[in-house]
Amino acid sequence: MRFYKYSGSGNDFVFIDHRDGSARITPTLVQKWCSRREGIGADGVVLISSSQKADLSLRIFNSDGSEAEMCGNATRCAVHFAHEVLKLKEEPKYTIETMNGLYEGEAVDDTLVRIKMTELYDEGSINIDDLSGKNALYLNTGVPHAVIQVSSVEDVNVCAVGSAIRNDVRFPKGTNVDFFEVVDLQQKTIKLRVYERGVEDETLCCGTGVMATAVACSRFFNWKGEITVFAKGGTLQAIVEDKDLYFQGRVKLVFIGEVDE
């Protein structure tokens, strides 16, 4: 089976062209492929399929084999894959079907991809004020996020603290945990580190986490327009304009290979 290894600002995925329906993916297989030492190595596996509602559809699996409702970075990489590799159409704008519904994406240039984020709900539905001495907000941008302001992201033990919060009883289905530090209040720049549910570890970037944190900052500091986010995997931009939410950054096709099913 041919696969395509992608990185969306350090959040990496194994992509499979599943338009013919031939791929037989199991949780065990996902875990083997995602293994950093004995497999391909990735945060998840993504199947690209045809769709009756959109230009393409996605099934997204976390590295532990569980299926994700949505992933911002996987969706960005999917747009690049569809446009630059599969060459589904000449127009750089795509509609993408996920478990959560339809999204719009655009290949701005040969590596920059922008996604319009359509999911924003459950804002403040769970009180997490006790998790930060500064600001904190729970919300869902496709998957649940607990956004927590800290003085320095470098001083946070993301794995230990993130795991404890992710498994807190107040989150019945768990949550991603986003630790952010304000770099410049006037320039609307932040640093971000994320503990990701399903990966059960810190990831270099989380698209829905970037968006969730940007929305939270818009509430905390009345920020509007473009917000710059420094993640471990690179620099990204989130755009918050009333109900219009956009997320953009660079993606990279790392390599192409074949793997035995």
Q: Any idea which residues carry the catalytic annotation? A: 71, 206
Whole-angstrom distance, CA of residue 247 vs CA of residue 239: 6
Buried b (16+ CB within 10 A) or exposed e, 76-113: bbbbbbbbeebebeeebebebbbebeebbbbbeeeeeb
Annotate the chain with three-state secondary structure: CEEEEEEECCEEEEEEECCCCCCCCCHHHHHHHHCCCCCCCCCEEEEEECCCCCCEEEEEEECCCCEECCCHHHHHHHHHHHHHHCCCCCCCEEEEEECCEEEEEEECCCCEEEEEECCCECCCCCCCHHHCCCCEEEEECCCEEEEEECCCHHHCCHHHHHHHHHCCCCCCCCCEEEEEEEEECCCCEEEEEEEECCCCEEECCCHHHHHHHHHHHHHHHCCCEEEEEEECCEEEEEEEECCEEEEEEEEEEEEEEECCC
Nearest alpha-carbon partner for 177 in 146, 207, 198: 146
